[in-house]
Structure 1
């Protein structure tokens, strides 16, 4: 009894999804990782055939039956399976016949690993770019102060008023460059931590976009009211979502997209890994427009400072938005194709406000 209980504890604590199928390919056991992967409980799926809870191809069903009959194990890499909820999964799985028990099916979700690798790359690239920009910004600000001070002293020494125009140009351009450098550095004040409601933030953004677009763009709200309040900086989060939504608005206006619309969608996601950290509950905010999409050559670098696809764009909006969401231990992702561009903000709902720096 002790041995059986020990084996069950081991299976229950595995991150791999483990299932046991009988000779009819009906499920007899699944560990918690499998329940999470398939979004269903053992009580719900027990003794039901594989076709009802997963959608393997006819070839895969044939191989499963042959494995059971022959007793030979086999593995498959990067298979595409669809759960009964309609979710498509990219998985590696192995099948091992167990005498007098059935087929032991072990599934590793590849899409989650692919996502983790992509998110780590995004975070690393952004951190590297921020470090480079900060170093460069400080090197620029130091001589700017000297140039501005020298221009002010020179203006006092000039008796000819007509020459003051030139010194004022020097001072104004030095101030403009200083402001640009400050924007490159992103938010520099400490966050004002309070309980924030993500839907109140989005409603504020919608109000601003409605005014700026002159009511020419349809705003569609698709909110999940179950998302709780969480600790964060309301003003900074408004700035992050406004930067992305304003970019969508400008892309729709410049392309003169017919029936232009922006969808703001919120959802609560469970057990999400951001970078290397796993979070129990995450707030997902999707900002989706039906514009022309982002050029493929810009997609990998859109979160870098000074990268923009518009002639009059500063290239700072997305970089600042990513920095703000990173401060909240979250991440912004982007997927685009002609007719749909989707930005997704992922923010953990359990914040450690001491680290929001």
Structure 2
């Protein structure tokens, strides 16, 4: 290997902080530096990878040779294509490869983003943008509704006084007042996440789960089994305990509502599972340690027609639902820099809360 292909590693060490797989190669395509993510993906240390032709790890190699030739001839500043990364003792990993020249020494940086991870990042970014838009819309809409709603209720109460001698008509004003109160409660729930200041303290996630489990079993004492599957090694973390209880309870309560028929049959099951995930990516941010909390049910699954919209406000899969439970849960979790994901099919729905721990 030439001197120009062996730069000091100090200027490349920052690449180890990235969640994406990164290699620095020389002009001939030999690996100069592999970051930790690439080491983990392939199953070899960077010492063993150094000096190896990257083509040996890409399938098909011809696509890499064509891309490298284009870069050598300065045909493109950046080249992108989908390929597969070979791995030891595991199937090849589909990746989106980005090849770019880094400096005058003809070093090239190769970034490989697993296609599944890329899709997840794009989904997370869309979800975050959607949530921000929802929050702004909800605040504006709630404030626009609240003022005239108070006026309607006040007018109805005055009308009640005028109709004191006409009980047959007072029934109508009772309906107005009742519906105004119901809408006021809905507006208050919409504004709730934006009113309350976060109250952070040390949180034990299993105390949160046990609180949710107790509430569920009190509401559904028969026909519902709430299974504990805890990793008791999970450390405490800084969070708002009450908001986390509400977030998990919203998910669990939604699951219980979807299990009505199974509860009646006596075979409904909700599983609360906790795990630790390492090297997790939230959007474009990588964290060393994250909490993974699953709320799993054996119900019918999320209806196909709302699956992509379940975290939108006022979208509900059941009659009489407000469509706020999942929206509020997502908001509460995002206030902890986390997110909620959903994997659903008939007989198995898994809502997963991910929150950074370190």
TM-score computed with the length of structure 1 as normaliser = 0.75
Structure 1 residue 137: Cα displacement: 1.4
Structure 1 window deviating more from structure 2 (240-249 vs 260-269): it is: 260-269
Structure 1 residue 135: Cα displacement: 1.4
1:38-82 Cα offsets, whole Å, 9 max, x none, are 5x6729x959xx9xxxxx99xx5xx669x99xx999997243766
Match of 2:177 in 1: 171
Q: 2:346 aligns with which of 338, 343, 350?
A: 338
Secondary structure in 2 aligned to 1:300? helix
Match of 1:129 in 2: 134
Which residues in structure 2 correspond to 1:1-357 (within 5 Å)? 6-14=7-15, 15=18, 16-18=21-23, 30-37=34-41, 42=45, 46=48, 60=59, 77-79=82-84, 84=89, 89-92=93-96, 108-110=112-114, 111-160=116-165, 162=167, 163-187=169-193, 188-254=195-261, 259-350=267-358
Separation in 1 of the partners of 2:266 and 2:32?
Answer: 53
1:143-167 Cα offsets, whole Å, 9 max, x none, are 1111112222333344416254443
Separation in 2 of the partners of 1:266 and 1:80?
Answer: 31
Match of 1:353 in 2: none
1:258-301 Cα offsets, whole Å, 9 max, x none, are 84322222222233232343333221111122222112221110
CA RMSD of aligned residues (A): 3.8
Separation in 2 of the partners of 1:80 and 1:248?
Answer: 39
Secondary structure in 2 aligned to 1:346? strand
Separation in 2 of the partners of 1:72 and 1:134?
Answer: 54
**Is the contact made by 1:18 and 1:33 (CA closer than 8 Å) also made in structure 2?**
no
Secondary structure in 2 aligned to 1:294? coil
Structure 1 residue 200: Cα displacement: 0.8
Separation in 2 of the partners of 1:258 and 1:90?
Answer: 43
**Is the contact made by 1:217 and 1:262 (CA closer than 8 Å) also made in structure 2?**
yes
Secondary structure in 1 aligned to 2:349? strand
Secondary structure in 2 aligned to 1:278? strand
Secondary structure in 1 aligned to 2:309? coil
Change (3 A) 1:143 1:346: same
Separation in 1 of the partners of 2:91 and 2:303?
Answer: 28
Separation in 2 of the partners of 1:210 and 1:325?
Answer: 24
Separation in 2 of the partners of 1:189 and 1:231?
Answer: 17
Structure 1 residue 217: Cα displacement: 2.5
Change (3 A) 1:266 1:35: farther
Secondary structure in 2 aligned to 1:225? coil
Separation in 1 of the partners of 2:156 and 2:315?
Answer: 32
Secondary structure in 1 aligned to 2:259? helix
Separation in 2 of the partners of 1:190 and 1:258?
Answer: 41
1:296-338 Cα offsets, whole Å, 9 max, x none, are 2211100111111111322111111111111112111111122
Match of 2:74 in 1: none
Separation in 2 of the partners of 1:144 and 1:7?
Answer: 68
Aligned residues: 320
Separation in 2 of the partners of 1:83 and 1:185?
Answer: 52
1:178-207 Cα offsets, whole Å, 9 max, x none, are 001112234332222211111110111112
Separation in 1 of the partners of 2:277 and 2:202?
Answer: 19
Separation in 2 of the partners of 1:253 and 1:159?
Answer: 44
Structure 2 alignment gaps of length 5 or more: 26-30, 72-79, 100-107
